[in-house]
A and B are shown apart, each in its own frame.
Chain A
């Protein structure tokens, strides 16, 4: 160990590091440290000539350990480890010393920065003699893929993969696929009919020979490991034999319970207790709502008219939930968003004032297949003479969601256009903070709306009330707002208020993320591996993200990300094997007391208990090297390779040695 030959490379990173740290001094100092054979400075270590320095020194000087003082290891550790391996050295005998993010970028004083760089380097020089050569672990990859959620993102990803010849399991929570997009009337800025562009894809998915669609189903458990996930899916009972059901809807007309608020129409319309959510549903199968069906909820439905109406005899009141186990190599999460709960924003009166509606409700209202047949009407059935559209409800608001939901400005413009189209005499007011029209054709759409006679008021609405202070306000809704361009307070008497609600993470996003072994961002959406370079990957290898579950996005962006996720999954499952980082935990059976503490804590289910030997064992392929077991064990038995106590203590000693 004392005979190690350590090579130190100090990267200038242009002026990123050399602009603050006295590199010459640090390199001179490093050359005199114990075990250091050579210490060099180079302008860009990550360049080919920089990497060649490492390879050459390994070959010519017999270097046995390498430390590269440069940027964060998340940036270039793979680069340099590969260079070391190319030079003939085990890559795990190389350490990075982060003198950029941890030092030159965050230290004001050059003298202090130089001192700090030495300490950071010293920590690694002390650590390296304790490093061990590690071999990557290879495991086979299951070629099948699961897509969770079948809105537009999930549908797109599933179709891409299936067309590429992969077997795809699509798990959707609702009775039909389609997601939010199926509920929309038109799409901005092109005003394409949403259903017209979506339903062909839905039907393609339903018929695809490579796709197994599991609608009305939920993932309950994910275990296994990278490339080999075991997924438990609960297929909820529809109380309808889907093999027999032809989707003729005779049962829905026959059902005696007709007044159940329709989820698909966000409560504006009604459906029967046995229902098909919408005419283009895929799969086109009836589902019985067990809470509303008289037979299932009360045990008594005199007529059971659905049974007599069903020609093929598909009704099955005795049906039970079914557990299905899937083995897949990769998973795409496309679980979407939910609309911000407008009742939280009490000052706008949603839920209290009739004719204050949410954006999704307006989508249904303006939809030709919606509850009003596409007529934009108030609760009393009359057309509104004036409508106010309130932007940023729940978004860009420190009380609720700080982020911009990205789609609301554009759909609000679309609403204004649709109102003007349906009701040309109706006055439309858009109350906005900033108009964000950033996509292809969006600014042009905004401009078009300015010519359509819509009133744009720059200012967030303060309140919606029904208290009249003037004769023209009697019996109407009054929107109070500051018009910041005119610098005056305004009271707008209108007949209808549309709340352009933001997009929120799904209520259960955190639990779902936990089930799949990745995390959520501070704003509650699923956390991507890298915000710029890997927006469609998660921290869990083999699990990818598509659509609004990662962050609010419009349809083009959701579709684009779905493509990226599909490409990611395809690349992943196309390899017959996957290399697993060897910096994982191991448990010495001679030392383990079998107390069980680590077993339940492992977030990756990588520890199992060997009842015969009464010790815990690490499943190497499943271990992600998170270190939870290392911290939890009372006797320090699980040790993480590459992060052994002796290595960490040597680092601490090195950092404090100066």
Chain B
């Protein structure tokens, strides 16, 4: 019997998810042994046209990382969806929009203004901006179209499973891969829409710090002080997304005394991670008067970027009004 076919792709992402796949180290050889890798632009020399020529559903599993923010991302997402039996949103960007999703606070024109007009280090006297098509001596060159709105993979194509994380933890990746191998052998697959590589509770469950009652008088940022390594970081005024973030990473950040940033996304029962965390934080502000509450709340740095660092594109609001 031939080996199952595996595709990996990166759309709007930083490349960290690709590195994370390699973070499984020598086990990558096991992956290569178990799968026939048919498409992996970052590592192997395949072209889109190679994929285009494949038969529909001829790829068994596609691990797709990155958000969808331009026409190329969208095209390849749809192409791989057609060609793959199982489509996995891999990493925070594919799952929730991730860091690129914060672009939804703005739009294409504003982004271009910033990048091609307003940057102090810019040398662009002619005001050149990216064109979809450009005529050069050798012929016509094309660029993908950047969209106003960053979308998640499942806002673009049908997704079977999710592996969250920025990036997903190596152990979890290996767990998912072995589970997929097993599932393909037995034909027993997890229910569609399942989050893979997560644990049932929240990051707090995996975090070993001592947790007590939380009453916050002021919020602080990690550079302002050295937190007590034994104590819950939220209790020390750091906005730690742990309470509203599904477990699975092993509380890597809080173990290193940095607050959880929420990259694994919300636990199963939470619809909107940022709103939920906002509700939590609002509940533990310790102030008797509305004025003092407002003062304390004002110490939250960059609220959207804090509560929706990874989840803006998948939130209930999805984006700022254009």
Contacts and interface: CB of A to CB of B under 8 A. Distances in A.
Contact of A645 (B211, B242, B269): B269
Nearest to B280: A634
A590 interface: yes
A636 interface: yes
Interface in A608-658: 628, 631-637, 645
B120 interface: no
B270 A635 contact: yes
Contact of B201 (A593, A628, A645): A593
Interface stretch (A48-56, A447-455, A595-603): A595-603
B214 A596 contact: yes
Interface residues of B, number: 32
Contact of A628 (B246, B269, B283): B283
A631 B211 contact: no
Contacts of A595: 202, 204, 211, 232, 234, 242-243
Nearest to A598: B283
B220 interface: no
A593 B247 CA distance: 9
Nearest to A588: B269
A600 B269 contact: no
A121 B106 CA distance: 40
Contact of B214 (A590, A600, A628): A600
A637 B243 CA distance: 11
B279 A631 contact: yes
A514 to B, nearest CB: 10
Interface of A: 590-597, 599-601, 628, 631-637, 645
Contacts of A592: 201
Given A591-B200, A596-B214, A635 B267 contact: yes
Contacts of A591: 200-201, 267, 269
Contacts of A593: 201-205, 243, 247
A637 B244 CA distance: 11
Contacts of B115: none
Interface in B231-287: 232, 234, 241-247, 266-267, 269-271, 276-277, 279-280, 282-284
A632 B281 CA distance: 8
B284 A632 contact: yes
Nearest to B202: A593
B200 A633 contact: no
B212 interface: yes
A635 B201 contact: yes
B213 interface: yes
Interface of A is mostly: loop
B269 A631 contact: no
A592 B271 CA distance: 17
Contacts of A601: 283-284
Contacts of B202: 593, 595, 634-635
Contacts of B85: none
B211 A590 contact: no
B22 to A, nearest CB: 31
Given A597-B243, A634-B241, A634-B245, 18 more contacts: A591-B269, A593-B203, A593-B243, A594-B211, A595-B204, A595-B211, A595-B242, A597-B234, A597-B284, A600-B214, A601-B284, A632-B279, A632-B280, A634-B276, A634-B280, A635-B269, A636-B269, A636-B270
A634 B232 CA distance: 15
A631 B244 contact: no
A636 B277 CA distance: 10
B234 to A, nearest CB: 8
A634 B244 contact: yes
A636 B200 contact: no
A636 B201 CA distance: 11
A297 B212 CA distance: 39
Given A591-B269, A632-B283, A635-B269, A600 B213 contact: yes
Interface string B163-195: 000000000000000000000000000000000
Contacts of B234: 595, 597
Contacts of B205: 593-594
Interface of B: 200-205, 211-215, 232, 234, 241-247, 266-267, 269-271, 276-277, 279-280, 282-284
A631 B282 CA distance: 9
Nearest to B213: A600
B283 A597 contact: yes
A644 to B, nearest CB: 10
A611 to B, nearest CB: 11
A93 B211 CA distance: 39
A33 B32 CA distance: 57
A221 to B, nearest CB: 16
Contacts of B203: 593
Contacts of A628: 283
A633 B244 CA distance: 8
A633 B280 contact: yes
Contacts of A636: 267, 269-270, 276
A471 to B, nearest CB: 52
Given A632-B284, A634-B276, A635-B202, A597 B214 contact: yes
B312 to A, nearest CB: 18
5 contacts: A593-B205, A593-B247, A597-B243, A634-B277, A637-B269
Contacts of B270: 634-636
A634 B201 contact: no
A136 B115 CA distance: 63
A596 B247 contact: no
A274 B211 CA distance: 49
A639 to B, nearest CB: 8
A631 to B, nearest CB: 5
A266 B51 CA distance: 93
Contacts of B232: 595-596
Given A631-B283, A635-B270, A636-B267, A596 B276 contact: no
A62 to B, nearest CB: 34
Contacts of B204: 593-595, 634
Nearest to B243: A634
Contacts of A600: 212-215
A536 to B, nearest CB: 28
B307 to A, nearest CB: 11
Contacts of B282: 631
B278 to A, nearest CB: 10
Nearest to A591: B201
A599 B74 CA distance: 46
B242 A634 contact: yes
A8 B247 CA distance: 45
Contact of A596 (B201, B211, B241, B244): B211
Contacts of A632: 279-280, 283-284
A368 B284 CA distance: 55
A590 B276 CA distance: 20
A597 to B, nearest CB: 6
Nearest to B286: A600
A136 B244 CA distance: 32
A38 B30 CA distance: 64
Contacts of B277: 634
Task: Name the residue in A592, A601, A634 with the highest tally of chain B Cβ atoms < 10 Å from its Cβ.
Answer: A634
A597 B201 CA distance: 15
Q: Which 3 A-B pairs have the closest CB atoms?
A: A634-B243, A600-B213, A632-B283
Nearest to B284: A597
Contacts of A594: 204-205, 211
A595 B267 CA distance: 14
A632 B278 CA distance: 9
A593 B283 CA distance: 17
